[in-house]
Amino acid sequence: MNLASLASARAEAGRPVRVALIGAGKFGSMFLSQVPTIPGLEVAAIADLDPEKARAACREVGWDEARIAATLFTDDAVSALDRGIEVMVEATGHPEAGISHALAAIEAGLHVVMVNVEADVLAGPVLAEKAGEKGVVYSMAYGDQPALVAEMVDWARATGFTVAAAGKGTKYLPHYHQVTPDDVWSHYGLTPEQAADAGMNPQMFNSFLDGTKSALEMAAIANACGLDVPEHGLGFPPCGVDDLAHVLRPRAIGGCLERDGMVEVVSSLERDGRPVFRDLRWGVYVVLKAPNDYAASCFRQYGLPTDVTGRYAAMYKPFHLIGMELSISILSAALRGEPTGTTREWRGDVAAVAKRDLDTGETLDGEGGYTVYGRLSPASESARARLLPIGLAHGVRLARPVAAGQALSMDDVDLDSTRHAVRLRGEMIARAVPDAQPMRQES
């Protein structure tokens, strides 16, 4: 509750928290728009594949020329870490790059704020362990839904409630799993020309629609909060905020969950396409379970909407501000030594599933593309079946055909074992399944 005063004290002492931002896309730009009005926080370096585009982004969000001139703009992420930096923000969205940048920052003794949920789900347990060994913070990014959910789960547990369910809302229909970048814009009510004029990336936006991003975010929440993931992937039940406590409870008492303590995403659309009443498309939630009759009676007395038993109640936040809230993570890491959510174990994973029949020799194009989408899976099943994570399903060649709807395995593709991401994933599988076979390598 005192981050602002702690940051102001650093400003008055002439020692602002110095940050390196890696990736100046939409998330990074939203953060940059807030920086000039946060005393005690300074972005000293911005690394992007296109430094001039990053400069232009700073001008667009309101930076003056003096601030721009005082900032290093580079296409070399490692060089951005060498300017008295305390915190690195990884916001590229590229899992392989994200892992490499995080490893470099940890080795340099810097705190890491991982906007890159793709990298976190692929290798977060190992990255968090390495950060702990170095005495630095490895944190989720506040403003993104996983960190907001982690905060709500922590609040619920610290007040003595059982967490029955936690997650977010999104727009979902079953056929979205097969949507490709060619037809994504019709689902957003845009023409391709309008999207191009706005600088919107069709593959990135398709990952939100085809279920991949939801799966990644729920895996991150499960891994940070010790929650379970649905055995057969997310169900995306249609549900508005008034019905959260009714729907997100165990099946044994009329809900849709396997048991208490699960992650799930609710849809803002009924299965026939009608909008859900008072939907949670942009928000996050936690469903609480009262530990006793007295607590349940307090739910009723103080106006919490509950299920028919009175034992389950829901809390929710109807929006999230994405990069505009990112400074909370940065200041928490630098000034408190605390993450705003962090990977603690490997409970959830995201497997690549074929969108259509795939042939030997085809090259996968990863998250939001034409070939695969990501489906949430229990990590134990993913390790046992050697499922191919969506984070490794980009730019790799198929070694054999895969039918539409089938989850790919490591043995279906040729992988380069020298890549950081491949090596760390192999390490995670070896820990989970000690007698696991080595991954297939490129021929």
**DSSP result, 129-143:** HHHHHHT--EEE-BT
Task: Assign 337 to helix, strand or coil.
Answer: coil
The reply to whether 156 and 289 lie within a common domain is: yes
* Length reported for the chain: 443
Identify the band that residue 59 occupies on the pLDDT scale cut at 50, 70 and 90: very high
Of the CA atoms within 13 Å of residue 112, those in its CB half-sphere come to 33
At residue 294, does pLDDT exceed 70? yes
CATH of the domain at 63: 3.40.50.720
pLDDT tens-digit readout, 392-426: 999 999 999 999 999 999 999 999 989 989 999 99
Tally Cβ neighbours within 10 Å of residue 60: 11
Distance between start and end Cα atoms, the chain? 55
- Same-domain status, 21 and 114: yes
Read off φ and ψ for residue 396, nearest 5 degrees.
-110, 150
d(Cα 250, Cα 260) in Å, to the nearest integer?
6
**Is there a domain that residue 202 lies in?**
no
Average pLDDT across the chain, whole number: 95
In this prediction, residue 361 carries a pLDDT of: 97
Helix-then-strand count for the chain, H and E: 15, 14
Q: Which of 49, 138, 68 is nearest to 99 (CA)?
A: 138
Q: Are residues 376 and 295 in the same domain?
A: no
Please check whether residues 158 and 307 belong to one and the same domain: yes
Which of 336, 371, 399 terminates a domain? The answer is: 336
* 121 and 163 fall within a common domain: no
Question: How much is the average pLDDT of 198-219?
Answer: 93
> Is residue 363 assigned to a domain?
yes
- pLDDT of 1 above 90: no
Residue type, 109: G
Structure tokens at 369: 């593309």
153, 133 contact by CB (below 8 A): no
| Model confidence at 325: pLDDT above 60 | yes
Query: Which pair of structure tokens corresponds to residue 21?
Result: 């931002």
Residue 256 maps to a domain: yes
Q: 184 with 205: CB under 8 angstroms?
A: yes
Q: With a cut of 60, say whether residue 440 has pLDDT above it.
A: no
Give tens-digit pLDDT for 213-263: 999 999 999 999 999 999 999 999 999 999 999 999 999 999 999 999 999
Question: Tens digits of per-residue pLDDT, 127-151?
Answer: 999 999 999 999 999 999 999 999 9
Cα separation, 133 vs 149, in Å, equals: 26
- Residues 140 and 151 occupy one common structural domain: no
Domains held by the chain: number = 3
Report the pLDDT averaged over residues 199-221.
Answer: 94
Residue at which a domain ends, from 286, 308, 336: 336
Amino acid at 264: E
Q: Does residue 164 sit in the same domain as residue 292?
A: yes
165 and 294 in a single domain? The answer is yes
Q: From the centroid of its chain, how far is CA 161?
A: 25
* Domain stop point among 336, 363, 394: 336
Radius of gyration of the CA atoms of the chain, in A: 22
Q: Is residue 187 part of a domain?
A: no
Give, as one character, the DSSP assignment of residue 54. H
Average pLDDT of the residues in 336-351:
98
Q: How far apart are CA 279 and CA 169, in angstroms?
A: 8
Task: Indicate whether 22 and 92 sit together in one domain.
Answer: yes
pLDDT for the residue 150: 98
* CB distance 38 to 327 below 8 Å: yes
Is the same domain home to 165 and 276? yes
Does residue 241 lie within any of the structural domains?
Answer: yes
Percent of the chain at pLDDT above 90?
93
Judge whether 58 lies within some domain: yes
pLDDT above 80: residue 48: yes
- Whether the pLDDT of residue 441 is over 60: the answer is no
Please check whether residues 123 and 257 belong to one and the same domain: no
DSSP state of 262: E
Domain of residue 355 covers 348-432
Residues 406 and 375: their CA atoms lie apart, in Å, by 10
Q: Of 371, 427, 425, which Cα lies nearest the Cα of 398?
A: 371
Q: What's the average model confidence in pLDDT over 27-54?
A: 97
Residue 365: partners with Cβ closer than 8 Å, 6 or more residues away: 203, 371, 372, 394, 395
Alpha helices per DSSP H over 109-243: 117-134, 145-158, 192-197, 202-209, 212-225
CA distances to 23, 78, 223, 293, 346 from 349, rounded to whole Å, are 24, 28, 9, 36, 8
Residue 132 counted as domain residue: yes
Task: For residues 299 and 378, state if they share a domain.
Answer: no
Q: Which amino acid is at 103?
A: L
Does 442 have pLDDT greater than 70?
A: no
Q: What is the pLDDT of residue 201?
A: 87
List beta partners, residue 228: 262
Cα–Cα distance measured from residue 17 to residue 330, given in angstroms and rounded to the nearest whole number: 8
CATH number at residue 383: 3.90.1210.10
pLDDT at position 225? 98
Give the separation between CA 262 and CA 287, rounded to whole angstroms: 10
What are the tens digits of pLDDT across the range 259-293? 999 999 999 999 999 999 999 999 999 999 999 99
Confidence of residue 340 (pLDDT cuts 50, 70, 90): very high
Is 180 part of any domain? no
Query: For 86-93, what is the mean pLDDT?
Result: 97
pLDDT digits (tens, 9 = 90+) for 357-380: 999 999 999 999 999 999 999 999
How wide is the angle at C-alpha 429 spanned by C-alphas 424 and 434, nearest 5°? 125
Q: What are phi and psi of 144, to 5 degrees?
A: -80, 155
CA 89 to CA 329: how far, in whole Å?
A: 10
Read off the pLDDT band of 438 (50, 70, 90). low
C-beta separation of 22 from 88 below 8 A: yes
d(CA 166, CA 163): 7
Up-side HSE of residue 343: CA atoms within 13 Å toward CB? 32
